[in-house]
Amino acid sequence: MKNLVVLYGGDLTSHAFEKVFGSESAFERVLNWASNFSDKIILFLKDSSPVSGELSSIISKNPKIESLSHDSWTKSLFISEISSSLKKYEAESAIISWADTPFLNEKLTSDLIEMHSKYSAEYTFADGFPYGFAPELIESGTASILSELCKTSLKAEGDKAMDREAVFSVMRGDINSFEIETLISDLDYRLLRFNFESSSKINFLACKNLYDEAQGQKIDFSDAYALSNLAAKSPRVMQTLPAFYNIQISSKYNHKYCYSLEAAGKNPASKDFMDFSDFQKILSQIKDFSESAVISLSAFGEPLLNPEFLNFALEVINQNDQSHKIPLLIETDGLLVNQELASKISEAAKSKNAEVNWIIYIDSVEKFMYAGLHNCPDSDFEKALASIPLLENHFEGHVYPQFMRMKTNENQLESFYRFWKEKESPSKGQLIIQKYNSYCSSLPDLKSADLSPVNRLPCWHLRRDMTILADGSVPFCFQLAFEQNAGNVLTHGIEAVWEKFSQVLKEHLLLVDELNSEKSDGKSADNKCGICDESYTFNF
C-alpha cells in the first residue's frame, strides 16, 4: 500500500454529523474524500465519545474503516499510532486530516501526494489556503523517528494534548533535520483566519454558509481558489456568531491609565457595576447562542472592583461542560489579586477543566514610568508585579504581563521583552506587547509604530466580538463604545442584537473595498472605520 489515510476523530462533536451539505454530514464528506486516496482508512477515536452512536452506525457500513481508540490523546500518542499503522499496512506515507473538515480538496490532495513523492519529502503540507482544505503527509520512516523523539528531546511538546497542528508542532522542535515540502497558495488567505471544521457551532456555521452560497452561485467545489475567494467576500461566512464577549462588570478603575477612555473623561457609564443576576441571564444567552466563546472581564473597568467578582468568575467557569468550552479572560491591574481569590478560581477551573487566562497591566520596567502612565503611587508597581508569580502558581502558562506600547514608554520595550520572555521570569516566558489604541482619535496619538497591513482587512471585531456594557447595552464597535448602540441584550436578547451587526458588516466590507482601491488615500473622512487601525487586531 502506497498511502494510508489517517483521520483524527477523537474530538468530534454532534455538528460533524448534521446533514447540511446536501444529503451529507461533514464526517461523511471526509470519508468520501478519504476513499479516493486509500483502500484503508484509520480512524482515531476516544473511548468515551459523546457521538459514539453516530460513529458506530457509519463505521459499521464502511469496510474500509479501521478504528483505534484511547481514553485520551497526546501529540506523542497520535504520532506513535500513525507510525504503527503505517508499519502494519506496509504503507509508505500517511495522509493526515481531522475528521470534521467538509471541504477537503481532492486536487490539492493529489498535488500534495505528487510533490511528496517527486521530491522524496519526509513531510509535506499546504500553506496559505484556508484551514480544512488540505491534509498533511508524513513518510513512514519519519513518523517512526518523530515518535522516538517524542520520548526524548521533543518530549515536552509530545506530551501536550492533541491539537490540529500536532505533527508540525512537534517537528518544529527539530525542523532542520527533516526534508519538508510546501504547496503554497497563489493567494494568501491566512490573514482571514478561516477554520472550515465542525468542532464548534461558530465554525460549523461558517462551513454550512459557505456550502449554501457555493451551491447558490454554482461554484465548483473542486476549485479551491474559487471557494476561498467566495469565502473572502461573503459576510455570512466571515460573520457567524460572536466568539469573544467583552463584558463590563465594573466601570470603576484603581488607576486612570493614560491610554484609557476614563483618563480622557469619556466613560459615561450608566452604572458602576453590572448586577450579578443580569450577568447570569447574559451568560445563559451566550451559552445557548454561541455554545463556545471567550468571556472577557471587564470592558472599560477594573473587574476586581466589583464586590461580587469571585461569583462572576465562578459563574463563567461553571458554564463549561462537554459541549460548551467557555474560557475566561481576566484583564486587571493586579492590585486586588490575593492568594484566596486565585486559589478558589483555580480549584473551580480544574474541577470543570476550564481555561482561565490573566492579563496584568505592567507597561514598564520600573516604578517611575509605571506611576506616570497609570497616574498612581509608584508603590503600586510592586503590588502589580507581585500578582504575577502568585497567579502563575495557580494558572501555569496562562498569566500574561502586558506592555502597552506607546511613544511614552518605547525606550523600555526591549528591556520589558527581554526580561519577561525568559522561562525563568515570574510569568515563565509569557507576555503581551499590546498596540496603542487611540479609539478613533478620541485619545492623543501616542502610537510609536504603524503596524497596520498595507491593504485593509475586514474588521475582526465586527466579525467576531461583542462588547456588553454594565447595563446590558451593546455598542456596534468597541472603538465607539459610548456613541453607537445596537440594542440591549437584557431587553432585546443577544440574537436580535447580533442580527443588527450583519448589515453593519456588509457596509463595512464595501468601505474596505473603497479604502483598498487605487484612488483611495486609505482613509475615509465620513466614516470612523477609515481612521481606525484596530481592525486587524485579534482577541483571545
Q: What is the DSSP annotation of 248-300?
A: -SB---SS--TTSTTTTT----S-SB--HHHHHHHHHHHHHHHSS-EEEE-TT
Task: Give yes or no for a contact between 403 and 259, defined as CB atoms under 8 angstroms apart.
Answer: no
What pLDDT was estimated at residue 531?
85
What pLDDT was estimated at residue 519?
58
Alpha-carbon distance of 95 to 280, in angstroms, equals: 45
What pLDDT was estimated at residue 517?
82
Element (H, E) at 473: strand 473-475
What pLDDT was estimated at residue 325?
95
Three-state SS annotation for 47-67: CCCCCHHHHHHHHCCCCCEEE
Q: Which amino acid is at 499?
A: E
Nearest-10 crossing angle of helices 367-374, 380-394: 100
- Domains contained in the chain, CATH given: 3-187 (3.90.550.10), 244-526 (3.20.20.70)
Task: Tell me the C-alpha to C-alpha distance, in Å, between residue 510 and each of 458, 515, 529.
Answer: 10, 9, 11
pTM of this prediction?
A: 0.94
Task: Tell me the C-alpha to C-alpha distance, in Å, between residue 219 and each of 63, 108, 222.
Answer: 32, 17, 9
Q: What angle do CA 191, 192, 198 make, to 5 degrees?
A: 130
Task: From 480, 193, 539, 161, select the one nearest 359 (Cα to Cα).
Answer: 539
Pairing type for strands 473-475 and 485-488 reads antiparallel
The sheet carrying 123-127 orders its strands as: 65-70, 41-46, 3-8, 93-98, 136-139, 123-127, 180-184
> What's the grid cell of residue 97?
486530516
Query: Which mean pLDDT values do the consecutive 10-residue runs of the chain (540 residues) have?
Result: 92 95 97 96 91 84 94 97 97 98 98 97 98 98 97 96 97 96 96 96 98 97 97 96 97 94 75 97 98 96 98 98 94 98 98 97 98 97 98 98 98 98 97 95 92 89 96 92 89 97 91 79 64 89
Task: Give yes or no for a contact between 390 and 436, defined as CB atoms under 8 angstroms apart.
Answer: no
Backbone angles phi, psi at 325, to 5 degrees: -105, 110
Backbone angles phi, psi at 110, to 5 degrees: -60, -40
What pLDDT was estimated at residue 525?
46
Positive or negative torsion for Cα 109, 113, 119, 122? positive
Measure CA of the first residue to CA of the last residue in the chain; give whole Å: 43
354 three-class SS = coil
> What's the grid cell of residue 400?
500574561
Nearest-10 crossing angle of helices 201-216, 224-233: 110
DSSP per-residue string spanning 28-52: HHHHHHHHTT-S-EEEEEESS-TTH
| 3-class SS shares of the chain: helix, strand, coil, % to 5 | 40, 15, 45
What pLDDT was estimated at residue 524?
54
> What's the grid cell of residue 149?
523523539
| Exposure b/e, 98-109, CB count within 10 A at least 16 = b | bbbbbbbbeebb
Residue with cell 451566550: 286
Three-state SS annotation for 312-344: HHHHHHCCCECCECCCEEEEECCCCCCHHHHHH
- CB under 8 Å to 243, separation ≥6 — which residues? 202, 290, 292, 293, 294, 464, 465
